[in-house]
Structure 1
């Protein structure tokens, strides 16, 4: 354990040391400009090799959290992306393209669905998954070829967390997409799991990346079927088959598929399926119906489903039956379903228009579905700052990535065509600033 002022840096691996330093930066215990211990001194204090500490420092530099400052050694960057809270107020006039949230004007009207809710509350012994919703969910999922034992959780993150904590042990290695959903990464760290990053391209997590994770001893693999956050990737039919072949020989592996985009998707679902002994498929209602609903349908093998329900009962209890009935009403409401279909087409059009315009101007934006685009950049902090100077807030990729090179996330869920030219012009200037005049 190494003391920097009043903060103790800990860790016996590069990932653990990096996480400890990140925590210090986030909490303000390692303030901007703070020098970190020299590599050899920290290695001696922690009882690890200098190469381990050097690897941690190198990853932190790549993610824009620390920098080399001459005789001062390695210091916390003054504009580290970790220093800005995700919900910090933006300066007046700055348009937020960093939030990663759906357009509330495209969410279905709940008036009719609410009118169909039960008029009486239930008692404790009546709680749990509503059988009628499970039957309806079985019909909905079967259209996409998803079978299995069904249950209900309080959103996708709850389903993923319950699946992991009932199947794995702290310290186990979990393979996640890189870059990927920040909430999953934070949840894994808080739960004591180690993480392994799987590179992502437009067809989803790469087969080579999954193979490397398996060789490294991953006990679980988490993938996003469609609208991957932050890259907008969608698992293709070819990629799904490649992953099936890789995973078939691993009966003890937990496979988690997150299909949060669901009915909004303009592309078919390529379900990897129950090719391992433990598997979970999660379909959240948050993006199509509303983030505040906090309801997800989970299909899984019988044993894992039973563990999920048992742990949920011991933790936060059942998902509100009122919310479950509300989801049921929305699924049966033809007007609500038309609104969801319209929203899906609108999101896709907004994403494609902005993505194509960026590409036409030499910006290699990635995105195939969902709310976001991913743009590789040389320096995240510089790009984020330059975009803000031009009136737009974009999210630094360091919040989402492990080993993937730098990038920024642009949320396009509310971008209208009339705004595209200005956004592209700002992005071109931010990524390729004009050099000094000669």
Structure 2
């Protein structure tokens, strides 16, 4: 790059010059910009002017700061996606999907979801759904000022919650390993992900303390059925994290309780009684189906007001037909029994598979959620490649890692709840052999 092509004497002019070079293709993704001091000398401007120009570019998503590697032109980074792998003939055991046979039938609910048309200017939330949503969250989040917002799924809720509170390049604490959609949302929103390690009891206290010391303005936490690990906050861990957050009441805490009605574990929260910015997000995707793109966000009043501006009538409010359809199912005793049965099914299938692995010399423990997080004695990549030769497609833990890790992942995330007994037995055999274990088959 010819560094002299950047021009300008004010921060706005310098930023505009870099943007113009990027738009013309003279600067491409990954190209390094001159160091601040060097650019200031070349343009004969104050160093603070160059700093302000780079800040404007970062806020616009044109550049990204890489620490000692300098400031470079930004680009859209590829992020692994949930769901079935495209164009694969292998048996996919890394999907993270619910069992379609365990999703309640919509036929009876459809008849009850009809009603008079809703017009511009009317309330964006169906009053009956709002009341049902409040009842759903009151026991777990008893704040008297709790407000409900309806969004197009949990990912939409998280994206809008971050957008109403943050600027580009603000820091967000994420669990490490982390849910793929959260990684995607934070990266493409232009925020900086700060990893917080997760153990069997959830986010670690030391990890969250370090993230708060690093200046995070938001925290995304999965209180139970953490994806990919299956971890659930213990009461002691939740209390310790709340105590830590008591000194940071204005940090936005987003709890993504994605498994909610399917979970076999009690709900524990990071949100203390004095916390000022928070959201408990519960979607219906895991138990009513991924195509039911609806979630409720229970928030403090100010957050609710800000979200309302981003979900105003005439733009992106959630269809009232969909709201009524969800309400019809959430108030149907038969559907609720089917959901409860599905939750027990996922738990029992995962526990049985983990027990069989353990018997074969590959210790595994079933957490909560749709998946199993299986620890391996060798690199997950090696095991995944060996499984491919046996007809299986699995996800390695590397896809879910955030921070700089000293070694490749030694975990696989497996979705096994929908396997037949024969398929499950074969996968156990193949996984044990691929991991290098030689215990005899039972």
**TM-score (structure 2 length as normaliser):** 0.77
* Residue aligning to 1:302: 301
SS in 2 for 1:199: strand
* 1:343 is aligned to 2:350: no
Q: CA deviation at 1:11?
A: 6.9
CA contact (8 A) 1:202 1:366 kept: no
Give the Cα–Cα distance (whole angstroms) in 2 for the partners of residues 141 and 98 of structure 1: 31
* 1:388 is aligned to 2:388: yes
Give the Cα–Cα distance (whole angstroms) in 2 for the partners of residues 232 and 198 of structure 1: 16
* Residue aligning to 1:186: 184
CA contact (8 A) 1:350 1:416 kept: no
Q: CA deviation at 1:185?
A: 0.7
CA contact (8 A) 2:124 2:313 kept: no
Give the Cα–Cα distance (whole angstroms) in 1 for the partners of residues 79 and 149 of structure 2: 38
Give the Cα–Cα distance (whole angstroms) in 2 for the partners of residues 300 and 8 of structure 1: 38
* Residue aligning to 2:119: 123
Give the Cα–Cα distance (whole angstroms) in 2 for the partners of residues 146 and 180 of structure 1: 28
* Residue aligning to 2:284: 285
Unaligned runs of 5+ in 1: 13-45, 54-79
Classify 1:308/1:413 alpha carbon distance in 2 versus 1 (closer, same or farther; 3 Å): farther
CA contact (8 A) 2:130 2:148 kept: yes
* Residue aligning to 1:399: 399
* Residue aligning to 1:419: 423
Q: CA deviation at 1:314?
A: 8.3
Classify 1:247/1:121 alpha carbon distance in 2 versus 1 (closer, same or farther; 3 Å): same
Match of 1:166 among 160, 164, 167: 164
Give the Cα–Cα distance (whole angstroms) in 1 for the partners of residues 218 and 240 of structure 2: 17
Larger radius of gyration: 2
Residue-pair matches, total: 371
Classify 1:315/1:431 alpha carbon distance in 2 versus 1 (closer, same or farther; 3 Å): farther
Unaligned runs of 5+ in 2: 3-26, 34-64, 72-77
SS in 1 for 2:239: helix
Q: CA deviation at 1:380?
A: 3.2
Q: CA deviation at 1:315?
A: 9.3
Q: CA deviation at 1:307?
A: 0.6
* 1:90 is aligned to 2:111: no
* 1:196 is aligned to 2:212: no
**TM-score (structure 1 length as normaliser):** 0.78
Q: CA deviation at 1:124?
A: 2.2
Cα deviation code 1:57-98 (max 9, x no counterpart): xxxxxxxxxxxxxxxxxxxxxxx997999632222xx32101
Give the Cα–Cα distance (whole angstroms) in 2 for the partners of residues 270 and 47 of structure 1: 36
Question: What pairs up with 1:44-63 in 2 under 5 angstroms?
Answer: 49=68
Match of 1:100 among 96, 101, 107: 96
Q: CA deviation at 1:110?
A: 1.0
